[in-house]
Amino acid sequence: MDRVDKKLGIEIKFPIIADDMGKIGTLYGMIHPGKDTNTIRAVFIIEPNGIMSYILYYPQETGRNTDEILRVFRAFQTADKNSVATPANWPTMG
């Protein structure tokens, strides 16, 4: 398992890894049944206490939506800071 920040030589202000061997995927039960793990991509947000709070699956042919991932992080931060729930599509709602 490589640390992306070390491999790419850039500073990332939160932990992120590439799980080439599937060790973390296996630990958290993330391996999609019946699929080659190279054909399913996913984003998992795991809290410092080990709780998985967000999962986004997408096929290899579909790119990641970075805006959506950032929206989710901001929603989590807002919810934690203000003890509120954020609605669907927050903060993109008109």
* Domain spans of the chain, in order of start: 2-62, 64-94
- For the whole model, what pTM was predicted? 0.59
Predicted local distance difference test score (pLDDT) of residue 26: 78
Length of the chain in terms of residues written: 94
Alpha carbon distance 28, 64 (integer Å) = 21
Per-residue DSSP letters for 34-87? TS-TTTEEEEEEE-TTS-EEEEEEEETTS---HHHHHHHHHHHHHHHHHT-PPP
Which pLDDT tens digit goes with each residue over 14-67?
A: 766 777 777 877 787 777 677 666 656 778 888 888 888 888 887 777 777 888
Alpha carbon distance 42, 6 (integer Å) = 21
Predicted local distance difference test score (pLDDT) of residue 4: 60
Find residue 42's DSSP bridge partners: 57
Predicted local distance difference test score (pLDDT) of residue 31: 73
* Residue type (1 letter), 4: V
More confident of the two residues 57 and 13: 57
Cβ atoms 43, 69 nearer than 8 A: yes
Predicted local distance difference test score (pLDDT) of residue 62: 76
